[in-house]
Structure 1
Amino acid sequence: MSERTAVGTRDFLLPDLGEGLSEAEIVEWRVAVGDVVTVDQSVVEVETAKAVVDVPCPYPGRVVALHGAAGEVRPVGQPLITIAPLDGADAPDPHATYREEERAGSGNVLIGYGTGHGGPGRRRRRPRLAVAPEPAPTAPAAVPAGPAAPTGRAVPGASSTPTGSLAAADREPEPAPAGGPAAAPLVISPIVRRLAKEHGIDLASVRGTGPGGVIRRVDVEAARTAPAARLAAVPDAPDAHVGLAPTGDGDVVVPLTGIRKVIADKLSRSRREIPEVTIWVDVDATGLLETRAAINAASPDAPVSILALLARICLSGLRRYPQLNARVDTEGQRIVQSAGVHLGIAAQTDRGLVVPVLRDAQRLTTRELAAALAETTASARAGTLPPARLSGGTFTLNNYGVFGVDGSTPIINHPEAALLGVGRIVDKPWVVDGQLAVRKVTQLSLTFDHRVCDGGVAGGFLRHVADCVEQPALLVANV
């Protein structure tokens, strides 16, 4: 994970990210040149195609070089940060340093989990107050010698809040001195900074409506849609990383990078390789809504969502029709049916469409499904799920009804073989026992790989799901 360079310095290389990921984009440096870092200290936040994670450095010493600026994409195996050993009084006991490194391991681990001696779980970062980047100084500020703790000073485009300090969001910002320069814009969320950069919004021109004047996402959106919205890019933003770049003719160019590139590649591959077919049916979901209301009335402290009930119904259907819980191995010329149902849940996030996975979902009760779905989708939208939680699904449930649409012909999440889509639930006229009535109606669609099964299996699965939605009591016979 490192290369020895001149005068004893070490290059820490961007570690193997796993899950087929070969590069990462630098979101924010946690340290600056001259800072002293300790073993396993987080030095940079990077964004892969699947998650935003912290990278810990396995070497102690002083930072002498940062390879790459915020917004730059770095390939795996290339230098990320250069560390020099501490000299004289600054240098710790060499044997202690060796023991620290031995406990830390090589650093060749999945980023976001530390390098060995940390706790079993990943700590959630508290929000930190950041300021808009300023032009880079001509030379780095001098760093006093001595065993000082890491300062975490910002580099251009990075947060200026020292690592490990109290969350600055808990404090009221100090006003600018009379007659002095205006206070820098207050930003907490990396998403806000990214949105401003993508839309060419100068944060200095945005009025924050959050506590103490903190700029929120809605403020950036308002500035983007305002007639006088500024189109100039944020200072120091790399040209290739500006998400929306107006051209001379007024066209907007959106570069396919990061998660958008992965989504485009995966969906294109799905369309190229999978001969997909979509079938659909309208169903009366009145009984399903009544069942959910009865369940939640009995235990209001552990509510069950409609999505959790639909997931339970899908699991029942896949137990009866396991052909759809499969994938096609094109190299081996075979169909592989999975022993467990690793249920993917399509979730729209600020970074794009992701599909977090509930592994062995068939082992969960309906209430456990509800809790797992709520936690997983919330973590996906926050960007805190590790890459392993965003791959390996065998069947996907897509609730596109949240967008106010009735139906869709979605693209299968390659290499899975099927996807169930659910439209919005609305009042519609429906015939019940020969009489016209107003019922809660939704449309279900099943998109499946015609290589794994024929219409009989696909139709049987969709009809089973529809029957269980209309008569939830049928689930009792299958659980």
Structure 2
Amino acid sequence: MPQVFEFKLPDLGEGLTEAEIVRWLVEVGDVVAIDQPVVEVETAKAMVEVPCPYGGVVTARFGEGGTELPVGAPLLTVAVGSEGALGSVGSGGPGSDARAGAAAVVSAVGSEAGSGGPGSGSGSGSGEAEASGNVLVGYGTGAPVARRRRVRPDAMAAPGVAQVTAAAAVSAAVPHAARGPVAVVSPLVRKLARQHDLDLRQLAGSGPDGLILRADVESAIRALAEGAAAPTPASVPESASEPTSLPPVQPSVAQKAASPAVERVPLRGVRGAVADKLVRSRREIPDATCWVDADATELMAARSAMNSATGPAAGPKVSVLALLARICTAALARFPELNSTVDLEAREIVRLPEVHLGFAAQTERGLVVPVVRDAQARNAESIGAEIARLTEAARTGRLTPAELTGGTFTVNNYGVFGVDGSTPIINHPEAAMLGVGRIMPKPWVHEGELAVRHVVQLSLTFDHRVCDGGTAGGFLRYVADCVEQPAVLLRTL
């Protein structure tokens, strides 16, 4: 006997207790396979696709884009089995209308959803028998993801339900305006549009691949306000000889819309997690910063030689960040005090054997710090390839929680913003962060003569509990020496 199973928001790990729906990947009436991703949610760590452990027909969805759900809250219901799946399902409660509307869908696709999958056997009704037990893509999911199939109306000619179609079931459960994907990544953009009753499907995004950005929504809001605030001709009384008493003019809705309003941006999701970590870092870590200017001319020349090599020595392009990351791993081998953390309860400094190197990346969703695992065992080419992969995942919002946690040291290249120096906040619970400014041609005394050289400012913010200024200065000086004379690195290769 077919049954309807309720799939709840699973535990996403890393101590996360809630997630916000970004977009649905399925609609009511869709046939889903075991472990097929059904919804994209945003946590305080990353954007995550959540797969459903049941195979069958989607009969209800709980919440639309921008809805925040706690772990354990219902996400959707899936009918597993063949004909009459919903005939025995109790009425009432959330999603009951959608379940009733999808009864015909289940009866028509029972054999399709059940063959070789859940519900195709004896139909014992055991939830454990119908589910895979997997919850997250990349965290134990083993079954291949099947392509989503939509039930066609001409497949609905089952006995007793000839008048019900899959399209009717979908229409009964999902409003017309909520159907179809929208090219929006940021939940803040969706919320801003909802607050001003703006239909995102009417906007053309200016971001990559038509992505709708916050600037696009704000521009549309201003255009609506200006159009609503356009003056209209006032009617003048025919007899103006006698003064008339007019009631006080109340501001119109259009005038209110045109006036600037205070904007409140909730500190949640990625931005909220970053805010909490920065506050904790400032509260718990007694940090100090030292900096030095370095002549990066030789480093840039070495990089140019690497990238222009031909023949057997040729390989992928190496970025400046990859070279600086490799220099940091060599420096941490000499100064392991900076690759550590502090255990407050035990009052101990914990020195870590592996270097999991984080690098700050600015995205449309906020600041994230992807982590290159075991950087101490990688060369510059390997580090560069991993940085490129993680950067692309950060840009598209596909970083997993595991790729955003566990760092032991961070490199912050704020030179990409066109600035020379900074005093970065340590990425708690790490002990240090190297900041890198822009590399610019500047006057520099080279071999006793004034010359134009490529100069970069390097800064090191460190936890003064793990080391003193001598150790921090030695680390930074070694990094600067490697930047000025890349051949120094040959000693550690």
- Secondary structure at the aligned position of 1:410 is classed as coil
Q: CA offsets per residue over residues 437-466 of structure 1, 9 Å max, x none?
A: 111111000001111111111010000000
Using a 3 Å threshold, how does the CA distance of structure 1 residues 159 and 465 change in structure 2: closer, same or farther? farther
Distance 1:320 1:285 in 2: 21
Which residue among 284, 302, 311 is the counterpart of 1:291? 302
Partner of 2:142: 117
Instruction: With the length of structure 1 as denominator, give the TM-score of the two structures.
Output: 0.76
- Secondary structure at the aligned position of 2:12 is classed as coil
Which residue among 456, 469, 473 is the counterpart of 1:455? 469
Which residue identity is paired with 1:46?
V
Which residue among 309, 320, 330 is the counterpart of 2:334? 320
User: What's the CA shift for 1:421?
Assistant: 0.4
Partner of 1:258: 269
Distance 1:157 1:407 in 2: 48
Partner of 2:133: 106
Distance 1:227 1:77 in 2: 36
Distance 1:453 1:156 in 2: 61
Moved more, 250-259 or 302-311: 250-259
The aligned length equals 409
Q: CA offsets per residue over residues 151-186 of structure 1, 9 Å max, x none?
A: 9x966775526xxxxxxxxxxxxxxxxxxxxxxxxx
Which residue identity is paired with 1:118?
A
Using a 3 Å threshold, how does the CA distance of structure 1 residues 400 and 58 change in structure 2: closer, same or farther? same
Indicate the percent of aligned positions where both proteins have the same amino acid: 53
Partner of 1:348: 362
- Secondary structure at the aligned position of 1:20 is classed as coil
Q: CA offsets per residue over residues 228-254 of structure 1, 9 Å max, x none?
A: 53369xxxxxxxxxxxxx997622211
Alignment of 1:28-177 (within 5 A): 28-86=23-81, 87-88=83-84, 89=107, 91=110, 92=114, 93-95=119-121, 105-107=132-134, 109=135, 111-113=136-138, 116-119=141-144, 144=165, 160=180
Distance 2:66 2:221 in 1: 28
Using a 3 Å threshold, how does the CA distance of structure 1 residues 431 and 155 change in structure 2: closer, same or farther? farther
User: What's the CA shift for 1:223?
Assistant: 6.3
Distance 1:432 1:96 in 2: 83
Partner of 1:221: 215
Partner of 1:274: 285
Runs of 4+ in 1 over 4 A off after TM superposition: 96-104, 153-159, 199-202, 207-211, 214-218, 225-228, 246-249
Which residue identity is paired with 2:401?
P
Using a 3 Å threshold, how does the CA distance of structure 1 residues 250 and 209 change in structure 2: closer, same or farther? closer
Asked whether the equivalents of residues 397 and 421 of structure 1 are also in contact (C-alpha less than 8 Å), the reply is yes
User: What's the CA shift for 1:210?
Assistant: 9.6
Bigger fraction of residues in helix = 2
- Secondary structure at the aligned position of 1:413 is classed as coil
Distance 1:259 1:371 in 2: 25
Asked whether the equivalents of residues 202 and 230 of structure 1 are also in contact (C-alpha less than 8 Å), the reply is no
Moved more, 297-306 or 92-101: 92-101
Q: CA offsets per residue over residues 25-74 of structure 1, 9 Å max, x none?
A: 01112333444433223221111122222211112344343222220111
Distance 1:208 1:78 in 2: 32
- Secondary structure at the aligned position of 1:442 is classed as strand
Alignment of 1:440-451 (within 5 A): 440-451=454-465
Partner of 2:347: 333
Distance 2:203 2:402 in 1: 37
Partner of 2:157: none
Distance 2:388 2:324 in 1: 14
Alignment of 1:240-259 (within 5 A): 250-259=261-270
Does residue 385 of structure 1 match 2:379? no
Which residue identity is paired with 1:10?
F
Which residue identity is paired with 2:180?
S
Mark the runs of 5 or more structure 2 residues left unpaired by the alignment: 85-106, 149-162, 227-256
Does residue 11 of structure 1 match 2:37? no
Mark the runs of 5 or more structure 1 residues left unpaired by the alignment: 1-6, 127-141, 162-186, 233-245
- Secondary structure at the aligned position of 2:487 is classed as helix
Instruction: With the length of structure 2 as denominator, give the TM-score of the two structures.
Output: 0.74
Partner of 1:169: none
Distance 1:413 1:20 in 2: 18
Distance 1:103 1:408 in 2: 55
- Secondary structure at the aligned position of 2:307 is classed as helix
- Secondary structure at the aligned position of 1:408 is classed as coil
Distance 1:143 1:335 in 2: 68
Which residue among 433, 439, 455 is the counterpart of 1:419? 433
Distance 1:247 1:231 in 2: 5
Asked whether the equivalents of residues 468 and 474 of structure 1 are also in contact (C-alpha less than 8 Å), the reply is yes
